C-alpha cells in the first residue's frame, strides 16, 4: 500500500476541516452521489414508461451505490480519458443488469453539476449549524459582560469607554448578517436537473418520442428525488450557470472577512492583555520561549479567512469565461 505521507496532502483537509466537512467533499460522497443520481434517473425513466429498465436492474444499482471500485474506474479513465464514462463503466460492472441503461439520455454534467449542487447544499447546512452555535455563544458572552467597562479604540488609539459586551455585539451583528447571507445562498440553490447536452433536453425528447410533457415530468421527478422539489433551474447550457457559484461563494467570502475582523480584534486585545485565548496545561507557547501566550487560534482564523476571501475572484473569472453553452475553463479548479 502506498504511503500517504509520501505525497502532498492539503492541510485544508488534514488539519483544518471537520470530519463531517471532509467526508462531504470526499470521493466516496462525490462518486456515491453520482451513482444515486443515476439510480434516480433510471427510476424516473422507468416510471414514465421507458422500456428495458427492469426492477432487477434498479435493485442491483441501488445495492451497489457505495460499492465503488476506484481501481477499475482509474484504469478505465486512463484508457478513455473521460472521468464520467469511467465511472459509468465501473458501475456497470458492479450492476451488470443495469449496464445498458446507466446514464441513459444524460450528459456528463447531469452527474457532475447536480452532484456539486447537492454537495454545496449539504456543506452549507453544516456551516450554518456551526455558525448558529458561534452566534449563540458570543451573544451569551455579550450579555454576561454588557456592563464591564473597557477602553474603546478608534484608529487603534485610546478613545471613549465602551463595554466588553457592547464590543462583542459588533461581532455578533456581522455574524448575523453572514448567517442571513448563507441561508439565502443555500435556499437559492437550485438543481441543474435533466437538461441534456446543451440544455435543450433533445436527447430526452428523442427518448420519449417527442413527448415534452414526459420530459418535463422527468426533470421534476429527478429534482424531487434529489431533495430539490420545485427547484430545478428553468434553463441552462451544458452546465448550470456559474453565476450560481458567484452568489454561493460571495456569502462564504463575506463570512471570511467577518472572521478575519473578529480574530484580528482578539489578537489586538491579546497584546493589550485584555483577553486571552485558552492555554492548555501542556501547551508550549514557543519552541524558544515556552512562556509565551501566542494567539495562535486567531492567527489561524486570519490565515484561513484570507484564503476564503480570495476564492470569489476565481469564481468570478470562471463565470466570465463560460463561452456560449459552456467551456472547460472550470474543469480543473472547481
By CB neighbour count within 10 A (0-12 exposed, 13-18 middle, 19+ buried), where does 333 fall?
exposed
Reply yes or no on whether 286 is catalytic: yes
118-138 b/e with 16+ CB inside 10 Å = b?
bbbbbbbeebeeebeebbeeb
Spot the catalytic one: 18, 286, 320, 331: 286
What is the spatial distance between Cα 139 and Cα 54, in angstroms, rounded to a whole number? 56
pLDDT of residue 310: 96
pTM listed for this prediction = 0.93
pLDDT under 50: residue ranges of the chain = none
Q: How many CB atoms lie within 10 A of CB 196?
A: 22
Helix (H) or strand (E) run with residue 157 in it: strand 157-163
Reply yes or no on whether 298 is catalytic: no
Q: Which three cell numbers mark 158?
A: 485610546
R_g of the chain computed on alpha carbons: 25
SS3 track for 82-118: CHHHHHHHHHHHHCHHHCCCCCCCCCHHHHHHHHHHH
pLDDT of residue 328: 82
Q: Which three cell numbers mark 155?
A: 484608529
pLDDT of residue 1: 61
Q: Report CA dihedral (9, 249, 325, 212) to the nearest 10 degrees.
A: 110
What is the spatial distance between Cα 230 and Cα 214, in angstroms, rounded to a whole number? 16
Alpha carbon 66 to its chain centroid, in Å, reads 20
3-state secondary structure of 193: coil
Spot the catalytic one: 10, 51, 155, 287: 155
Read off the pLDDT of residues 189-248 as tens digits, 9 standing for 90 and up.
999 999 999 999 999 999 999 999 999 999 999 999 999 998 999 999 999 999 999 999
Q: How many CB atoms lie within 10 A of CB 154?
A: 8
Q: Are strands 157-163 and 149-154 parallel, antiparallel or unpaired?
A: antiparallel
3-state secondary structure of 84: helix
Amino acid at each position: 500500500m502506498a504511503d500517504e505521507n509520501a505525497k502532498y496532502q492539503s492541510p485544508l483537509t488534514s488539519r483544518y476541516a471537520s470530519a463531517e466537512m471532509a467526508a462531504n467533499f470526499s470521493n466516496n460522497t462525490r462518486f456515491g452521489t453520482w451513482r444515486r443520481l443515476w439510480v434516480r434517473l433510471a427510476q424516473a425513466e422507468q416510471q414514465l414508461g421507458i422500456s428495458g429498465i427492469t426492477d432487477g436492474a434498479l435493485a442491483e444499482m441501488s445495492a451497489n451505490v457505495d460499492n465503488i471500485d476506484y481501481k477499475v474506474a482509474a484504469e478505465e479513465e486512463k484508457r478513455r480519458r473521460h472521468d464520467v464514462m469511467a465511472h459509468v463503466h465501473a458501475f456497470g460492472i458492479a450492476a451488470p443488469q443495469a449496464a445498458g441503461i446507466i446514464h441513459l439520455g444524460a450528459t456528463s454534467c447531469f452527474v457532475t453539476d447536480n452532484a456539486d449542487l447537492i454537495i454545496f447544499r449539504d456543506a452549507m447546512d453544516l456551516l450554518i449549524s456551526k455558525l448558529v452555535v458561534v452566534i449563540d455563544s458570543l451573544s451569551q458572552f455579550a450579555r454576561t459582560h454588557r456592563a464591564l467597562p473597557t477602553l474603546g479604540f478608534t484608529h487603534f488609539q485610546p478613545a471613549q469607554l465602551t463595554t466588553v459586551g457592547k464590543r462583542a455585539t459588533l461581532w455578533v451583528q456581522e455574524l448575523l448578517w453572514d448567517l442571513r447571507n448563507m441561508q439565502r445562498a443555500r435556499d437559492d440553490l437550485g438543481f441543474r436537473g435533466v437538461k441534456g447536452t446543451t440544455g435543450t433536453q433533445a436527447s430526452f425528447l428523442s427518448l420519449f418520442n417527442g413527448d415534452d410533457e414526459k420530459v418535463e415530468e422527468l426533470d421534476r421527478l429527478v429534482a424531487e428525488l434529489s431533495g430539490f422539489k420545485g427547484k430545478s433551474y428553468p434553463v441552462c447550457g451544458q452546465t448550470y450557470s456559474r453565476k450560481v457559484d458567484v452568489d454561493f461563494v460571495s456569502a462564504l467570502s463575506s463570512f471570511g472577512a467577518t472572521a478575519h475582523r473578529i480574530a484580528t480584534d482578539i489578537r489586538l486585545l491579546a497584546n493589550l492583555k485584555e483577553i486571552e485565548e485558552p492555554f492548555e496545561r501542556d501547551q508550549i507557547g514557543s519552541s524558544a520561549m515556552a512562556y509565551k501566550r501566542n494567539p495562535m487560534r486567531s492567527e489561524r482564523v486570519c490565515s484561513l479567512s484570507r484564503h476564503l476571501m480570495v476564492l470569489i475572484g476565481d469564481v468570478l473569472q470562471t463565470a466570465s469565461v463560460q463561452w456560449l453553452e459552456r467551456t472547460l475553463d472550470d474543469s480543473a479548479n472547481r
